[in-house]
A and B are shown apart, each in its own frame.
Chain A
């Protein structure tokens, strides 16, 4: 009798436990749903301008200002076609080519110069290194605007105006203190034992950099390249100051050119070209994303 009772009670307990667990599970599910709903809606709000931009680039010029939604009534590709042709004697292809004439050498030079500089700061004994390092950080805090005029005068003396040199050449001297700083911090985190092992294996300091450090620095180097790519791609002020002939304009200036205040602005063309101008950055970002995150550097060590 007693036994049967206790058995029953136990069964009941199990039942209650099951119900409780179910409830808890349901609660968790609801919580999750709410969280995702908030994330998705905030994400959409942030992305809306971009979505609108893409939608509007397919609208006719009249529709852009008359409808609120981002979906065009019917897809009109004339913005892309006419926009690509531009109102100048060059097509947009020319401006893209110009942009890459700046971006590619600049990214390459930046990577080489910043890595070398960071290596020097992080691993070598240089007299007055601390002092030099604080100057480097000091330049980070200096607003760019302050430098514009003296730089402009300097490049004018060099006869570099209306060429890409003022935009590209500085990158060869590791002027981007932020990148140098970032790489130094990364290098400081790398164990020195690997370099010592490489020295015993017969590397000189340059080979240590090439064979051992750079492969480990890869995530940081990719970040540097990526940031420099996007920033240069989007740079407006630099080309505006130094480039004066239309045939040398990069995309950022060419876009502005089609918004000429004197004529009626063909907004659909401007938006269509903006979408195209965004593409390289987006593509490069998504291609690099994997390496960007793949920052495990100490796997050859303990652990």
Chain B
């Protein structure tokens, strides 16, 4: 039972490189928080600072009601699962899991009980006598999680735990970790979990909230759905969602009393609500963003007022849906269409596209903040 609070945390390396620029973050008790961002965004560094494996240059980190700046990792009430499992190769699974407890001089029966308990939860009871090298990647990862569980930590830290697994295993482990979080809650010992990943599917599916980082700064902290539908800035908009949001430099113009987005060869009129929000930017350059699924074709949306003619360059067939890459005025867009409804689109041909302007976003050209929320 512990919340984790970061207050103006700064990390500067001895060579002068500033990795973390004063992060403020409040992770609630029992919350599943995901750190996500491109490589080099300092998500792992931040996690390691919470763990105590990395010293902090400035600010404070609180776990529960203690400022842990000066507290060694073992006394912080945390457990960590590493990307490459970090199981002790010379110990059996049982000893790997029991090692931390043995160091704490926990009574033997208690160790036994806790290890068995964790092993059952993770279905690794039959592996307890094995050495790490005698197991598959998925099994090792489960042992690594088990080693974290037996410590009964207040905070679980996961550092890209699934990135070494193949796609199928990753999905099942993802579910398992989410279940574990739920299970611990039901057992009355809810644990705060901080999970670092670069995989946005993991982030979206697992997190109660997601913290998007870039260049050592927090871009946005919110629930998955809010990140997706209300990105706070251009970075988040472009980072969350696959295929990525179409983000284009454009100009807002006033066309006969109506606000419109001026893009090469097309003019897209805004509905009233959106127009009101971005009134102040008329005549200025902005970033225009629209998600691929908010672009339709004449076939999928036949009764709209405004269409734009584009030339299809690439079609990616996924079975249930298709990603259509097309250009208008030399600019590439991507649309995500329902395969069932799309019959007459083919490469190299022209096609009419419709933009759902109710769902689009606008970002300040300089600050890149979302101005249409």
Residues of A in contact with B (beta carbons under 8 Å apart): 191, 193-194, 196-203, 207, 211-212, 215-216, 218, 296-302
Report B-chain residues with C-beta under 8 Å of the C-beta of A201. Answer: 74, 99-100, 103, 147, 151
Contact B133–A199 (Cβ < 8 Å): no
Contact B131–A191 (Cβ < 8 Å): no
Report B-chain residues with C-beta under 8 Å of the C-beta of A212. Answer: 88
| CA gap between A197 and B73 in the complex, in Å | 10
A-contact bits for B71-112, CB 8 A (1 contact / 0 none): 011100011101111111110000010011001100000000
Report B-chain residues with C-beta under 8 Å of the C-beta of A199. Answer: 52-53, 72-74
Cβ contact of A302, chosen from B53, B79, B88, B137, cutoff 8 A:
B137
Report B-chain residues with C-beta under 8 Å of the C-beta of A211. Answer: 88, 99
B4 within 8 A of A: no
B164 within 8 A of A: yes
Report A-chain residues with C-beta under 8 Å of the C-beta of B99. Answer: 198, 201, 211
B292 within 8 A of A: no
Q: Least Cβ distance of B26 to chain A in Å? A: 23
* CB < 8 Å A-B pair total: 86
Q: Least Cβ distance of A192 to chain B in Å? A: 9
| CA gap between A162 and B147 in the complex, in Å | 56
Cβ contact of A297, chosen from B52, B80, B87, B89, cutoff 8 A:
B89
Report B-chain residues with C-beta under 8 Å of the C-beta of A191. Answer: 84, 86
Contact B103–A193 (Cβ < 8 Å): no
Report A-chain residues with C-beta under 8 Å of the C-beta of B96. Answer: 300
B190 within 8 A of A: no
List the B residue with the shortest CB-CB distance to A298: B89
| CA gap between A132 and B6 in the complex, in Å | 39
Say whether, besides A300-B132, A302-B164, A200 and B89 are in contact (CB < 8 Å).
Answer: no
Interface of A is mostly: helix
Contact B131–A299 (Cβ < 8 Å): yes
Contact A299–B84 (Cβ < 8 Å): no
Contact A301–B84 (Cβ < 8 Å): yes
Interface residues on B, range: 20 to 34
Q: Least Cβ distance of A174 to chain B in Å? A: 25
| CA gap between A201 and B88 in the complex, in Å | 12
- Could you list 14 examples of A-B contacts with CB < 8 Å? A193-B82, A193-B84, A199-B53, A200-B100, A201-B74, A201-B99, A202-B100, A203-B74, A207-B103, A211-B99, A215-B89, A299-B132, A300-B89, A301-B86
Contact B90–A216 (Cβ < 8 Å): yes
Say whether, besides A201-B99, A207-B103, A300 and B86 are in contact (CB < 8 Å).
Answer: yes
A-contact bits for B294-326, CB 8 A (1 contact / 0 none): 000000000000000000000000000000000
| CA gap between A203 and B99 in the complex, in Å | 10
Scoring A193, A218, A297, A300 by chain B CB atoms within 10 A of each residue's CB, the highest score goes to: A300
B232 within 8 A of A: no
List the B residue with the shortest CB-CB distance to A215: B90
Contact B103–A200 (Cβ < 8 Å): no
| CA gap between A198 and B79 in the complex, in Å | 11
Contact B88–A194 (Cβ < 8 Å): yes
Contact B88–A300 (Cβ < 8 Å): yes
B247 within 8 A of A: no
| CA gap between A211 and B147 in the complex, in Å | 16
Report B-chain residues with C-beta under 8 Å of the C-beta of A301. Answer: 84-87, 89
Say whether, besides A296-B133, A299-B132, A200 and B90 are in contact (CB < 8 Å).
Answer: no
Say whether, besides A200-B73, A200-B74, A201-B99, A299 and B88 are in contact (CB < 8 Å).
Answer: no
Contact A200–B78 (Cβ < 8 Å): yes
Report A-chain residues with C-beta under 8 Å of the C-beta of B52. Answer: 199-200
| CA gap between A136 and B9 in the complex, in Å | 39
List the A residue with the shortest CB-CB distance to B131: A299
Cβ contact of B86, chosen from A197, A203, A296, cutoff 8 A:
A197
Report B-chain residues with C-beta under 8 Å of the C-beta of A297. Answer: 89
Contact A197–B133 (Cβ < 8 Å): no
| CA gap between A193 and B88 in the complex, in Å | 10
Report A-chain residues with C-beta under 8 Å of the C-beta of B87. Answer: 197, 300-301
B213 within 8 A of A: no
Q: Considering the complex, which residues of chain B in the window 128-159 have a beta carbon less than 8 Å from any beta carbon of chain A?
A: 131-133, 137, 140, 147, 151
| CA gap between A216 and B85 in the complex, in Å | 16
List the A residue with the shortest CB-CB distance to B76: A200
Contact B85–A302 (Cβ < 8 Å): yes
List the A residue with the shortest CB-CB distance to B132: A300
